[in-house]
Amino acid sequence: MIPQISTIDLYKLASGDVLSLQVYKFIGDIPGKKAYIQANLHGAEIVGNGVIQQLIEYLMTLDQSQLQGEIWLVPVCNPLGVNQRSHMFSTGRFDSYNGKNWNRIFWDYEQEVLDLTEFAKSQINDSPEAIRSNYLARIKQAWAKEHERINRPSSASLSHQYRYQLQSLCLDADYVIDIHSSSNQAIDYTFGFKERIASIKYLLLDYGILMDEYDGDAFDEAFLKPWLALEKELTNLGKEIKFDIESWTLELGAGMAMNPNSVATGFAGIKNYLAHKQMLSLPEEVTSSEVTLVSKHKINSYHAPTGGMVQSRLPLKTKVHPGDQIYQLLSFNKQGTAPELISVCAETQGIVFDVSTNQCVNQGEYVMDILDC
């Protein structure tokens, strides 16, 4: 199966050069669902590009009859973030114009729909398919206004122009997968919504973090929240519907790194998930993993109590108990006394979930996360 490859211009830089997206579309013989998969929204989080490259290679070995529906793949989906450097480090986590996290800029229809209850009422006698179609039409209508706004003389900020291009690719998708990694170094896990918990095991990752509160305007949230809101309204009206619309964020390993295990893990999980969703017909059976599910607020971050160098930090996945030393801080001073070695201990039990790449910390800089599980 040969993908259709298209290029979409994002924005022109001051120099007159243009940064673009390239979309690889695999289109099956039989119409069906649309899966949208992107990687590298944060500049340092490159591992998903390897996953997408393996998906491209793999899908090219399949026959078009093995795919029902469409798979759209967008690697290096944030070129400004990917290419940004400070010295040799990738620092593309924030939009350098306004400091905003590149994954907190997205358009969430739920925040602007005013008459959702009324709309839900008007759909009460329709089929799920019809409701989906009617609601999507409304989303697209609102989106068209976004486009108008950008085309006025006052235009819009770079992040608004960027999100317009990116979200235009997936508003009508059924399954969205956004591949991230830690900016630092973490275990592999899936970020998901409790309302879609049933599918998480098909992504084959050992840990699942469930959003209990929203960060706001993240890519996965912006896609799924409008549908969850509609489901809730319909439920309030006595009509229990669960749309087969899902959104996942995979977190695979470390920033600035192409860890081959994380690439393999991500590839295997996505392939299996697409098979489970019956988009791919594969010889091998669909499998599932046992997933340790934990609420997001169970991630406890440790920041440096004073400035210094982090030593003897416990490695990723270590189990800890309250009171265990989790790292030591070598702290110098300019007050005429000897350097100090400060022992920092765990407040709760759990596992070492994420650790800072930089072991040199100003007071209040991030050192590590313990996942209370």
Give, as ranges, the residues between 97 and 116 that touch its own copies (CB under 8 A). Answer: 97, 99-101
Of the residues 79, 192, 208, 266, which one makes contact with its own copies according to CB under 8 A: 79
Question: Least separation, in Å, of the C-beta of 39 and its own copies?
Answer: 10
Of the residues 13, 124, 130, 237, which one makes contact with its own copies according to CB under 8 A: 13
Q: Which is nearer to its own copies, 38 or 289 (CB)?
A: 38
The one-character DSSP state at 286 is P
Is the Cβ–Cβ distance between 190 and 248 less than 8 Å? yes
Is the Cβ–Cβ distance between 113 and 76 less than 8 Å? no
Of the residues 1, 169, 273, 302, which one makes contact with its own copies according to CB under 8 A: 302
Structure tokens at 190: 């899936």
Q: Which is nearer to its own copies, 89 or 119 (CB)?
A: 89
Of the residues 218, 320, 361, 371, which one makes contact with its own copies according to CB under 8 A: 361
Contact segment (CB under 8 A) with its own copies among 173-181, 264-272, 277-285, 337-345 equals: 337-345
Determine, following the binding rule CB under 8 A, whether residue 94 of this chain makes contact with its own copies: yes
Of the residues 83, 122, 235, 261, which one makes contact with its own copies according to CB under 8 A: 83
Cα–Cα distance measured from residue 22 to residue 9, given in angstroms and rounded to the nearest whole number:
9
Q: Residue 55: which of 227, 205, 237, 273 has the closest Cα?
A: 273
For the beta sheet containing 68-74, the strands, ordered from the edge strand earlier in sequence to the opposite edge, are: 4-12, 18-27, 68-74, 30-39, 175-180, 246-251, 189-192, 207-210, 292-295
| Footprint of its own copies on 245-264 (CB under 8 A) | 256-258, 260
The burial class, CB within 10 Å (0-12 / 13-18 / 19+), for 373 is: middle
Of the residues 129, 152, 285, 290, which one makes contact with its own copies according to CB under 8 A: 152
Of the residues 61, 87, 148, 238, which one makes contact with its own copies according to CB under 8 A: 87
Cα–Cα distance measured from residue 197 to residue 211, given in angstroms and rounded to the nearest whole number:
11
Question: Three-class SS of residue 94?
Answer: strand
Determine, following the binding rule CB under 8 A, whether residue 183 of this chain makes contact with its own copies: yes
| Footprint of its own copies on 37-76 (CB under 8 A) | 43-44, 46, 49-50, 53, 56, 60, 75-76
Determine, following the binding rule CB under 8 A, whether residue 346 of this chain makes contact with its own copies: yes
Q: How many CA atoms lie within 13 A of 62 on its CB side?
A: 24
What torsion, rounded to 10 degrees, do the Cα atoms 53, 218, 145, 36 define? 30
Contact segment (CB under 8 A) with its own copies among 134-142, 152-160, 241-249, 273-281 equals: 152-160
End-to-end CA distance of the chain: 43
Q: Which is nearer to its own copies, 303 or 317 (CB)?
A: 303
Q: Which is nearer to its own copies, 33 or 271 (CB)?
A: 271
Quote the Cα angle for 259-265-269, to 5°. Answer: 150
Of the residues 136, 142, 264, 309, which one makes contact with its own copies according to CB under 8 A: 309
Question: Least separation, in Å, of the C-beta of 28 and its own copies?
Answer: 19
Of the residues 306, 317, 319, 321, which one makes contact with its own copies according to CB under 8 A: 306
The residue whose two tokens read 């990687």 is: 39
Contact segment (CB under 8 A) with its own copies among 78-86, 112-120, 130-138, 283-291 equals: 78-86
The neighbour count for residue 139, using CB atoms within 10 Å, is 17
Q: Which is nearer to its own copies, 85 or 319 (CB)?
A: 85
Determine the distance from the C-alpha atom of residue 184 to the mean position of all C-alpha atoms in its chain, rounded to a whole number: 15
Structure tokens at 70: 């469409």
